[in-house]
Amino acid sequence: MKFVVHPRVLVVELDGKIHDFQKEKDYQRDLIIKGMGLEVLRIKNEELKNMKKVKEKIIGHL
């Protein structure tokens, strides 16, 4: 029996208010990152007030 474990690589991006005004730029950067075989998870700065939920969001994404 053989097993293959493929590690997942996750890029966590912390988004401040500036990201509300540069959605196209962020989208293009996400395409580049995804093209490298990485996953992108965006977390808004406001979400950092509740680290338990941030942790759950990251684990849920994985």
Angle at 53 between CA 47 and CA 56, to 5 degrees: 130
Taking the CA atoms of residue 39, residue 41, residue 10 and residue 14 in that order, the dihedral angle to the nearest 10 degrees is 130
Per-residue pLDDT tens digits for 17-48: 887 788 899 999 999 989 998 888 999 999 99
**CB 54 within 8 Å of CB 43:** yes
The region of weakest confidence among 7-11, 42-46, 53-57 is 7-11
* pLDDT attached to residue 15: 84
